[in-house]
Every structure is written in C-alpha cells, then in structure tokens.
Amino acid sequence: MDFDFSPEEQKFADEVEQWLVDNHDPVVMDHHRENFSQLSDTPERRAFMKKLAAKGWLGMSWPKQYGGQEIEGVFEFILTEALSRHAAPQIGKGVGIIGKTLIRHGSEKLKREFLPQILNAEVEFAVGYSEPQAGSDAANMQLKAEKVEGGWKLNGQKMWTTSAHFADWYWVGARTDPDKRKHDGISLFLIPMDHPGLEVQSLPTIGKDTTNQVFFEDVFVPDDYLVGERGRGFQMISEALDLERFTMFTLSPITNRTDVLVDWVKQAKRDGKPLKDDPNVRRTIAHIVTDTAVAKGLSTRFLCAAKGGGKPPTIQSSQYKLFTTTLSQRVCKDALDIAGHEGTIMEGQEEAPLLGRFEGAYRATMNETVGGGSSEIQKNIIARRHLGLPKNF
C-alpha cells in the first residue's frame, strides 16, 4: 500500500504550509495552548477562520450542491494536521459533525440555513451529548423532550459541553421516546444558545480549557429544528463521533511534543552528565518515537479505509483514538519523569525545563482519553465490532 501523498495532495499540502507561514499570527498560533486555541472565542480567532473560509478550505469534501468541492477527505486531513502543527484553530465541529450530518440527514430548510454559514465561518456550535448520568454512554442520555403543539419542550441538564459559553447554536441529543429501547429513543435538535430557557454555567478544568454544564427549563424547539427522523439521533451521533475521534485528536501535537522532548534530551544534563547517555532515558525516548510512528500508521490506515465516501470506518477510528490519546498523555508523563523534580514546576516559570511545557501539556491532555468517547468505550467497540466478542464478555 502506498502511504505517500499523490502529486495533487502534496501540492495542496505545500500550499497550506506556505499559507500558514505567510499568515502566522502568534495570538492564535501558540503551541503552549496544546491544541486548545479553537476552544476559546476571540476576534483574532474569528478573523483567522474567515481567512480559511475565503480560501475555500472549509467543507472541501462536501457535495458541490452544498458549496463543497467533492474531493477526498484526505485534503481535510492535510489541512487539519497542518493547522494543528502550527497550533492554529482547526476547521471545527461545524464542518465535520454538524455539516456532514445535516448533509446526510437534515431537512432542506436546515441545510439552507446552516450550511452556508458554516462554509463562511459565520456560526459557532456547541455539542450536547454528555449528561451527569450519561458520560461516554451517550445512549443513556435522559434530557427530556416532550412533544407539544408545533414542536418540543426540553427539560433537564447537559454536562461537559465545550464551547457553550460562546457558541451561537446548540447541537443537542434528547430523549423523545422514553418507552423505546435507549438506542432508539433519542433525537437531535438545533437550539439557539441565546434561548431564554438555557442557563450555561462554566466549569474550569485541570487543563487549559473551560467546559460547561447547561440547564434546560421549558426550552421550546420548533418541529423544523428536529434534525432528521425522530428517534434516529443515536445513530447520527455515533456516525458523527467516528469523525470527531479522528479529527478532534490530531497527531501533530504529539509529534511536536516528541520532537521537542528529543531535542531537549540531546542537550540536557543531570549531575553534570548528559541525559542522552542514560540507558533508561534512551529506552523511554525510543518507545515514544516508535509509538509516534505507529500512531502515524494508524492515521494513514483510517484515511485509506475512509476513501471512497460512505460512513466513517468505526473500528479504525476507535483504534486511532484509543492509541493516540493514550500516547499523548504518556509522552507528557514520560517527559516529566525524565525531567525529574524540576518537571513539576508550573508552566511559564523560567526555571522550569522548557518553560514548563510538559507540565502544562500533561494537564491539558487529561481530557483526551474521555472526550469523543472514553478509552473504555473505544475498547468495547474494538472488542465487539473487530474481535467479535460478545457484548457482555
């Protein structure tokens, strides 16, 4: 199998790389943010996204009838990895989760309303799946959606909703059919975040981002803003999560951290002796570099499996997400171990190795094995769908 880019793909990769160099902005491109630059709302970030839209780089794989270019998803992969490599904001939930789901399942009204806004970087979304009793088990969500005249009335709570503190619209799963089995009783809705029945409470995390809990009190949603068929929400959520697991957890930050760690070890000393001569350090670095290459192979395999359109490859997505997020944390943990007691000095202090890069990165990676479906969920998917093990093994 040929893992190299085609001439056309390589040409695009070179174009994106040069554009990012020419449009470097330290305000929105900062590796110390550890891939969280898209999780805060600033005028500079919005302006950067408008530049991407003007290049025609949002929704490239969408059908032409909806403003896309109908090109292979590998081009979006190239763009996403390049943005991540430069610590720039990425193309976001609108292009992937919301846009692609609306194209597949949304009404013509919703497509007309939202797809142009997504392509023009005019709208921000928050995604509401998790609840206090439904974290990685999205099928267990209990947010109540009661049918009323002309629409639905929602009551309940969502947890861990990234971007809710600045998003324009809420992409929400709710239980519309409580008498059906849990996988068949969920529907998807679009709700404006300024709805008077929504209350957003921010929750700072151990990392560098802010998440939110959102309370619903008699939130009325017109029938027109039900996405797809009633009761088919979980199937759409599962499809979208396969995309999120691959696009949300990019490989470039891990590669960057690995390179930074290797370069530091080459010149660092402890007790007057070069760290690079320590056999334990050399063994640790060898494992990290090898596993980073494995992660690259898993990402390439996902791309190969995804070519030709159709639903995202679930198994490959879960394998990639499980391996890379675990590796992401391990790179930071091993870096702190190598740095010794100095590695625990808080980020930004001059006496900290690499200005505390890995202290901050370790905290930032704590959510990666949970977001988009926890590692335990990924293991269950791989066990059942790939290994053929029974559900209750």
Domain-located, residue 301: yes
218/329 same-domain check: no
Looking at the structure, tell me whether residues 379 and 286 fall in a common domain.
Answer: yes
CATH number where 156 lies = 2.40.110.10
Residue 2 has pLDDT above 80, yes or no: no
In this prediction, residue 128 carries a pLDDT of 94
Same domain for 204 and 278?
no
Residues 275 and 362 in one domain: yes
Claim to verify: residue 256 and residue 378 sit in the same structural domain: yes
**What are the φ/ψ torsions at residue 38 (nearest 5 degrees)?**
-85, 0
Burial (CB < 10 A; 0-12, 13-18, 19+), residue 341, is: exposed
Asked whether residue 373 carries a pLDDT value surpassing 90, the answer given is no
Between 378 and 312, residue with greater pLDDT: 378
- Which CATH number does the domain housing residue 11 bear? 1.10.540.10
d(CA 156, CA 145) in angstroms, rounded, equals: 9
Residue 148 lies in a domain: yes
Q: How confident is the model at residue 159 (pLDDT cuts 50, 70, 90)?
A: very high
Q: How far apart, in whole angstroms, are the C-alpha atoms of residue 143 and residue 134?
A: 10
**Lowest-pLDDT range of 164-173, 249-258, 289-298:** 249-258
Give tens-digit pLDDT for 60-117: 989 999 999 999 888 888 998 899 899 898 888 899 889 999 999 999 999 999 999 9
The reply to whether 143 and 73 lie within a common domain is: no
Residue 391 maps to a domain: no
Domain-terminating residue out of 163, 198, 230: 230
Tell me whether residue 80 is in a domain: yes
Instruction: Tell me: do 223 and 253 sit in the same domain.
Output: no
- Among 133-142, 166-175, 352-361, the minimum mean pLDDT is found in 133-142
What's the pLDDT band for 134 if we cut at 50, 70, 90?
confident
Range of the domain at 354: 249-386
pLDDT single digits (tens) 25-49: 988 887 766 655 455 678 888 999 9
Q: Is the model's pLDDT at 303 over the cut of 80?
A: no
| Position 1 confidence tier, pLDDT thresholds 50, 70, 90 | very low
Q: Does any domain span residue 42?
A: yes
Q: Is 119 part of a structural domain of the chain?
A: no
Mean predicted lDDT score pLDDT of the chain: 88
Does residue 362 sit within a domain? yes
Domain count of the chain? 3
Residue given tokens 């995604």 in the structure block: 127
Residues 198 and 299 in one domain: no
Residues 133, 258, single domain; the answer is no
pLDDT in tens, 220-238: 999 999 999 999 999 898 8
Q: Which of 198, 230, 262 is the last residue of a domain?
A: 230
Q: What is the pLDDT of residue 27?
A: 86
**Do 79 and 140 fall into the same domain?**
no
Of the pLDDT bands very low, low, confident and very high (cuts 50, 70, 90), residue 307 is: low
Query: DSSP letters along 253-321, please?
Result: HHHHHHHHHHHHHHH-EETTEEGGG-HHHHHHHHHHHHHHHHHHHHHHHHHHHHTTSSS--HHHHHHHH
| Residue 371 in this model has a pLDDT that exceeds 80 | no
Q: Where are the alpha helices (DSSP H) in the chain?
A: 7-22, 43-54, 74-85, 92-93, 99-105, 108-119, 233-247, 252-267, 279-306, 314-339, 357-364, 375-381
Highest mean pLDDT: which range of 81-95, 197-211, 322-336:
322-336
pLDDT at 274: 95
The pLDDT of residue 37 is 44
- Give me the pLDDT at residue 92, please: 80
Residue 110 within any structural domain of the chain = no
Give the CATH number for residue 277.
Answer: 1.20.140.10
The domain boundary, picked from 182, 202, 230, lies at: 230
Q: Are 270 and 356 part of one and the same domain?
A: yes
Q: Are strands 210-222 and 186-192 parallel, antiparallel or unpaired?
A: unpaired
Residues 214 and 274 in one domain: no
DSSP-derived 3-state class of residue 333: helix
